Amino acid sequence: MNSIENRHHQLLNRLKSAEVRFGRTPGSVCLVAVSKTRSPEAIRAIAALRQKDFGENQLQEALGKVEMLSDLDCTWHFIGSMQTNKCRAIAGHFDWVHSVDRLKIAKRLSNLRPATAVPLNIFLQVNLQGEATKSGIAPRELTALASAVHKLPNLQLRGLMAIPVPESSFERQRKVFSRLRELQNRLNQALDLTLDCLSMGMTDDLEAAVAEGATHVRVGTAIFGPRNSHV
Ligand SMILES: *Cc1c(COP(=O)(O)O)cnc(C)c1O
């Protein structure tokens, strides 16, 4: 009885317990089901359970699924690394982008957003722990980037995103997420913004993220099972 449907149900219960435990409104945290490497059939299985939000990190793979599943009412989140040559397709086919970390990319997304579409929702990815191998803007450069992105016409800057170094201690998980929340608070004060979303928390740390104010958790493994390769 370890079907995708069961695991999705269990994950929703896990999310709800965390919301209740940490004083968050039940159902208020958006579950982005990270469907990278998964088949369109697997996505259909949980879309039938009213799972609406899906996250993808490989553009070509994602575009195929977006097209094959266009009969469903899905909300698509791009969570992968950004390159300028991907911006047109991302701006045309996604509703949210979680991984914007430089102005050049943001400008292209804004310029290439179809005129008929609502503004593209944007998270700025922050490299909280100064990892050389990870994308994301350094915290000290965040204010300048946020100020510029906020002014772009076809984007809606919604908040910050981070992927912390894996950490097994719940308290240490929380500490890193609390830094992202504080960065966002300071950004709102400094620039007089009302950023209202935080994209943080995955399979192994979603409770800590919910405790620190996550509005979007990005969960793959707990719903779909282990991935074949490390992607
Ligand atoms: C793969 C991925 C996830 C999901 O990770 P799981 O550990 O499978 O839940 C979340 N966010 C990003 C950016 C990812 O690439």
| Residuewise pLDDT in 10s, the chain (231 residues) | 579 999 999 999 999 999 999 999 999 999 999 999 999 999 999 999 999 999 999 999 999 999 999 999 999 999 999 999 999 999 999 999 999 999 999 999 999 999 999 999 999 999 999 999 899 999 999 999 999 999 999 999 999 999 999 999 999 999 999 999 999 999 999 999 999 999 999 999 999 999 999 999 999 999 999 987 655
Decide whether any atom of ligand 1 lies within 6 Å of the 221 Cβ. Answer: yes
Alpha-carbon radius of gyration of the chain = 17
Q: Could you give the CA distance from residue 211 to residue 19 in angstroms, rounded to a whole number?
A: 8
Report field, pTM of the whole predicted structure over 0.85:
yes
Beta carbons within 10 angstroms of residue 140's beta carbon: 7
Integer Cα distance of 215 and 196 in angstroms: 8
Ligand 1 near 136 CB (within 6 A): no
Distance 33 CA to ligand 1 centre (A): 9
Residue type at position 60: Q
Q: What is the dihedral of CA 109, 110, 114, 116, to 10 degrees?
A: 140
Beta bridge pairs of residue 78? 56, 97
Ligand 1, atom 7, residue with closest C-alpha: 203
d(CA 206, CA 218): 8
Tokens standing for 67? 């097209």
Q: What is the whole-number distance in angstroms between the Cα of residue 26 and the centre of ligand 1?
A: 23
Domain annotation for the chain: domains and CATH numbers: 3-224 (3.20.20.10)
Contact 209, 178 (CB under 8 A): no
- What three-state secondary structure class fits 145? helix
